[in-house]
Amino acid sequence: MAIRTGALALLLALAASCGAGSRAIERDPYFESFYEKTRLIMTDEEVQIYKHLADAGAREEFIEEFWQKRDPLPDTAENEARDEFARRIAYANRWFRENRSAGRGWDTPRGRILIQLGEPDNRYLNDMINDPNVKGIERWVYYAYQLELVFVDSAGFGEYKLRSWPPELLSAIDHARFAVNPATGGAKGSVLTFQAGYRDGRISIAVPLKRVRFSESAETIQADFRVTVYVYRDYAKVDTRVLDQRLQFPRQGLPGGKNVDFSLPLPLTAKGRYFLDVILQDLLTGARSRDFVDFKL
């Protein structure tokens, strides 16, 4: 999935002040608390939708579905993605508070990266530094993303800032926003991915062939997918559709090309700006992934 054009702008805004964007949200402590934290893992489309929701009822529905979409095991009582997010918040508040007020450790540079990407695979702390302008250095390494981050304390007050924003960080955060389960992370190429589109009353799905898992019978191979589409028109949710698709090929006749493509009917007639939040599930493996389609009719 390509980096969204709004990702860099949002990241820069977060670096300056994560809470600033919440001014557009009604001053209800419950909704403010949800938004200012979860916008770290929201997609750009989710940010736009949430900021335009009409009332408390719509926001309540959005919050419920926000976690429902990310639940890696929807058939269980627990929501592991929500629990993991809360654990990261608590960890950041304990260890990365720096000079913020109590409960704001998640709003520091290290805290925000932790919320978005989870704990690094390796974390190196260095107190023996020859540079007089640097009082402390931390290096975080994420192997799955081939990413190394350097945090620097320049003044000696325990306040760490990122030395630079490598392109790999933008890609990793963009990928993490679309992860159904933020607890697992994982490199972009190691999980189910797809691209969605919309044209002429049909939603199209393109899945990289190497990510499709086929079951076999004597004569054929097949893959089964479930597509769940949350339909938003002019920032209000107007429908939810669940569509199943079976792809079947001769055992010796795998499709050519890099992708497996299919389309499903999704007639939309009302004029307006649409966001389609699309969740694709591989029914054989249970793997799930997301994409957004944004267009006007």
Check which CATH number belongs to the domain holding 230 and give it: 2.60.40
Last residue of a domain, one of 137, 155, 186: 186
Domains of the chain: total: 2
Please state whether 92 falls in left (phi above 0), alpha (psi between -120 and 50) or beta. alpha
Q: What is the dihedral of CA 256, 258, 262, 266, to 10 degrees?
A: -160
Residue 44: pLDDT band with limits 50, 70, 90? very high
The residue count of the chain comes to 297
| C-alpha distances in Å from residue 133, one per residue of 130, 151, 159, 165 | 9, 13, 14, 20
Contacts of 2 (CB under 8 A, 6+ apart): none
Is the confidence at residue 178, as pLDDT, over 50?
yes
Residue 19: pLDDT band with limits 50, 70, 90? very low
Contacts of 76 (CB under 8 A, 6+ apart): none
Last residue of a domain, one of 129, 155, 186: 186
- Residues 79 and 159 reside in one and the same domain: yes
- Residues 242 and 166 reside in one and the same domain: no
* Domain encompassing residue 241: 192-296
Q: 192 by DSSP, 3-state: which?
A: coil
| C-alpha distances in Å from residue 256, one per residue of 25, 234, 249 | 48, 39, 11
Distance CA 152, CA 73 (A): 38
Is the confidence at residue 8, as pLDDT, over 60?
no
- Residues 206 and 268 reside in one and the same domain: yes
- Residues 214 and 166 reside in one and the same domain: no
Task: Give the least confident one: 25-34, 187-196, 278-287.
Answer: 187-196
Q: Identify which of 181, 42, 178, 23 has the alpha carbon closest to the alpha carbon of residue 112.
A: 42
- Residues 141 and 210 reside in one and the same domain: no
pLDDT, tens digit, 9 for 90 and up, residues 60-103 = 999 999 999 998 888 889 998 899 999 999 999 999 999 888 88
pLDDT, tens digit, 9 for 90 and up, residues 102-117 = 889 999 999 999 999 9
- Residues 67 and 82 reside in one and the same domain: yes
Return the DSSP state at 219.
S
**pLDDT confidence of residue 182:** 46
| C-alpha distances in Å from residue 76, one per residue of 28, 70, 120, 184 | 31, 13, 28, 17
Does 1 map to a domain?
no
- Residues 136 and 207 reside in one and the same domain: no
Distance CA 137, CA 153 (A): 6
Residue 269: pLDDT band with limits 50, 70, 90? very high
**pLDDT confidence of residue 73:** 82
| C-alpha distances in Å from residue 198, one per residue of 178, 249, 257 | 19, 25, 21
- Residues 144 and 211 reside in one and the same domain: no
**pLDDT confidence of residue 18:** 42
Distance CA 89, CA 281 (A): 28
- Residues 90 and 41 reside in one and the same domain: yes
**pLDDT confidence of residue 13:** 43
Is the confidence at residue 26, as pLDDT, over 90?
no
Does 225 map to a domain?
yes
Yes or no: say if 181 and 80 are a contact pair by the CB < 8 Å rule.
yes
- Residues 162 and 250 reside in one and the same domain: no
3-state helix, strand, coil in the chain (%, to 5): 30, 30, 40
- Residues 19 and 67 reside in one and the same domain: yes
Last residue of a domain, one of 121, 155, 186: 186
